[in-house]
Chains A and B, each alone.
Chain A
Amino acid sequence: MERDPHRADHVQLGAKRDPVGRRVARALALGWLAWVVVTTATRVPIWTDERALWREATEQSPQKPRPWVNLGTLEHLGGDHASAQRAYEHAWTVSMARAGDEQRLGVALAAANLALLRWQAGDRGGARALAGRAHAIAPHVTEIHRLEQWMHTTHEPD
């Protein structure tokens, strides 16, 4: 490799710097670096627990529907229907404060998931009504359409 003549060389800077100030600067820099590394060490394990990841997202982005929907889904799959219902209802509430596509999708997903909860609790009529509402709000979402179709074609007594 040819040596580039324009490459900057080392320059002695220390002689012109205040030694006390330099020591303070070094201490602050080392402290900041240690803080960064400790933050990484404590945060990496969160990525192995998706529920902790989305719980963190609801704390950092409390006005965004998606973290609440995703947390609710994980609570739902984990069998904690009460926590799931609270998360879905929160998703519905914060969705109403948004605009446009995000509002529609947030409300539709919250409604569809609440429909599933009601179905599992035995309230077939309520579930069908919520699923129909979700489909009306977001007709382009295939999964919601399939859910609504399935609920209407499954013949079980209410």
Chain B
Amino acid sequence: MDAHHARTGLIGLLLVTAALYLPVRDGGLVYEDVNWHQALYRERARIYVGLPSRSLGLLSLRWTRALTVAHGVNVGLHLVAGTLVYAVAATLATPLVAVGAAGLFLLHPLQIEAVAYLTGRWDLLVTVTILASVWGALHGWWGLVAVGVAASAGAKEIGVLAGPLVLLTLGCWAPHRLRGGWVVGTLLVGLLLLLVPSGGWVTMTPGYGGSGGSRATFAAWQLIGLGRELALVIWPVGFTIDHDPMGLSPLWGLLAIGGAIGGAGWTIWRRSWLGAWTLGWVLLTLAPRLVVRSAEFINEHQWYLPMAGLCVGVAATLARIVAVDGVDPRHVPLVERM
């Protein structure tokens, strides 16, 4: 598949996605939407001071008060994010893998919660800003990288990962660009600065966004939830707005661990830099869920950012399995790229 046909395919995918999500224009406020809506219009300016790491999303919700418009913005952000997944994948792999990754990202049911749920706005924004930073880094647009990293700090707390994800991508794809110490230094300083607006997230107490109990227990429950929701990527049965890791078998946690170990083993065996990138992206974007003891276990909308990397890896794997226009990573060993 050449780039022209891939772009045509992308346009088709965007149109299909817009058509599939058309019903959400009739959607209202669901669950936590009501709380944010009330807080936004009751607290006014104070909420931006209290939640600087959500300010971008809060501003966007305020500007799009009409529910049909708000849902439309969510769908629009999803289409932008899908286009950015295509753009990043087209740089890292082949046009076919890029179309496949964008198609999975746009059309997978695991993405529905982030798109159809207005509270998913944070996840949409942080993914768009981070993907824009990564694309900018791949093409040497450092101004875009700076804007994207800064914007991700105001999109959601997990936006602090913008710098590390840019470093991961450059490290796997163009390690020679990291030889400039100022790039690494700037991104690391940026990471430290981003921790300022997001620092409160790490120190939440029970009853105020945090949870009690030991860190090990929380991490174990989160692993079980991660395993269950990871299975939804391949076997799309069992979606819900409210997963219950405490009601599941611990075997789901083993699935999550097995997936990480299996992915690492495959990456090392095939010496695949794309596999390393996918695994690094997924692990980096999910690791905070094991460390930060929030009051909620992992939800489907929190998979939106990890899916950006996971879809590229799955698309590349599918392209190899069906042996159509695939990329053989053995010809570009990871060790030679470092």
A positions within 8 Å CB-CB of B: 1-2, 4, 6-11, 13-14, 17, 22, 25-26, 29, 33, 35-37, 39-41, 43-45, 47-48, 50, 53-54, 56-57, 59-64, 66-67, 70, 98, 100-102, 140
**The 6 A-B residue pairs with the shortest CB-CB distance in the complex, in nearest-first order:** A61-B244, A47-B116, A60-B240, A11-B328, A63-B247, A64-B244
The reply to whether the CB of B331 lies closer than 8 angstroms to some CB of chain A is: yes
Q: How large is the interface on B (under 10, 10 to 19, 20 to 34, 35 or more residues)?
A: 35 or more
21 interchain pairs, CB-CB under 8 A:
A2-B140, A6-B173, A6-B332, A8-B93, A8-B327, A8-B328, A11-B328, A13-B320, A25-B322, A26-B322, A26-B324, A37-B16, A44-B23, A47-B113, A50-B28, A53-B241, A54-B241, A54-B242, A61-B242, A63-B244, A66-B242
Q: A6-B336, A39-B109, A101-B212 given. 11 additional CB < 8 A pairs?
A: A2-B140, A4-B174, A6-B174, A11-B328, A22-B323, A36-B107, A44-B20, A50-B30, A61-B240, A66-B242, A67-B240
Q: In whole angstroms, what is the CA distance A14 to B325 when docked?
A: 9
Is B321 in the interface zone, CB < 8 Å from A?
A: yes
Within 8 A of A (CB), among B143-162: none
Distance in Å: Cβ of B109 to nearest Cβ of chain A: 4
Name the A residues within 8 Å of B174 (CB-CB).
Answer: 4, 6
Which residues of B from 1 to 47 have beta carbons under 8 Å from A?
A: 16, 20-21, 23-24, 26-28, 30-31
A48 near B247 with CB under 8 A, answer no
Compute how far the CA of A44 lies from the CA of B26 in the bound complex, rounded to whole angstroms. Answer: 11
A37 proximity list for chain B (CB < 8 A): 16, 20, 107
